[in-house]
Structure 1
C-alpha cells in the first residue's frame, strides 16, 4: 500500500477540485517548493493514485440534460455473464458510469440523455434486448448537488 503524507493529501484535495491549477499555486497552497510539488504530482500519477486528468462537462449544455441512475439485476451473476454485460453496456454513448454493486442488483449505471424518448430508446436497445438482464429500476436525478457544483466550491486548505 502506498503511504500518503499530509502534503500529498493536501495536494490531492486541491487537484480534485481543479487539476488545472498551476504548480506554483499548488506549491504556495501546500507549503512546498515548486520542484517538490512537481515531483509529488509525477509520483502520484506514476503510482496511479491520480488515475486521470478529466473535465467535468455540463450535460445540460451538451444536450444530455437528463441523468438516470439505473439498477440492473442479471439473470445469473457468474463472472463471464457479468464481464460480458459490463463490456457490452460500456459501448453505449449514453453511459457515463458503470459500477458492479452488492445487494439485490448487480450493476449501477449512470445514463445521460436529452429526453425521455431517448432514454426509452436506450433501454429498449441496451437493456431490453439483452437476454442476460432480468430486470432494471430507473431513478431520475432531480438535482446534481456535488458534481455540477464542484468547480464553484471554495478550495479548502
Structure 2
C-alpha cells in the first residue's frame, strides 16, 4: 500500500517463522504451523489475527498461473508521463489501478515514470490495450514495452 504509512511491527522469531510458512502456503493448517513453531494452535491463531489487524498481513490471495487462465503474454511496460505534477500523475495512477490486465503498477523515480506488469491473452489484445492506455493518452509522453520470454522467478514473499 504505497500511499499508506505503516508503522513497523515488532515481530519476534515466532511471528517471522509463521510468516515464512504462510508465504509458502497460505492454506497451511494452524495446527501444522503450531507444531512447526512449538506453540499452541490458539497462540498461532492469535498471532496471525494480530498480524492481520496491524497490517503486516495485507491480504490472503491465490496465485494463478497466467497461461492456465488464458493470459499467455506478460509485458513489462515503462511509461513516462508528460510531467511529475500531481495533476498528471494521480489520474494516471488511478487509471492504471483500474485496469484488470495491469497486475502490478509502480510509481518510480525519474521523468514521471511508472512500471507496469501487464497480462494479456495475445499480442492483438496488448496492441489494443497499449493504444488505449498509452498511445492515445495525452498524459503519456513515451512508453516502452518489454515482452517477457520466460517467467524465471515469480515471488510474492518478503524475506522475513
The two structures have a TM-score, normalised by structure 1, of 0.89
Conserved in 1, the CA contact under 8 Å of 2:89 and 2:112? no
The two structures have a TM-score, normalised by structure 2, of 0.88
Instruction: Report the Cα distance in structure 2 between the residues aligned to 1:6 and 1:108, rounded to whole angstroms.
Output: 34
1:108 aligned to 2:115?
Answer: yes
Instruction: Report the Cα distance in structure 1 between the residues aligned to 2:75 and 2:11, rounded to whole angstroms.
Output: 35
Conserved in 2, the CA contact under 8 Å of 1:71 and 1:105? no
2:11 is paired with a residue of what secondary structure?
coil
Matches within 5 A, 1:6-85: 6-85=13-92
CA RMSD of aligned residues (A): 1.5
Conserved in 1, the CA contact under 8 Å of 2:79 and 2:114? yes
Between Structure 1 and Structure 2, how many residues are aligned? Answer: 149
Long gaps (5+) in structure 1: 151-157
Long gaps (5+) in structure 2: 1-7
Higher relative contact order (CA 8 A, sep 6+): 1
Q: CA deviation at 1:105?
A: 5.5
2:67 is paired with a residue of what secondary structure?
helix
Conserved in 1, the CA contact under 8 Å of 2:74 and 2:118? yes
Cα deviation digits, residues 13-54 of structure 1 (max 9, x gap): 111111111000111112211111000000000001000000
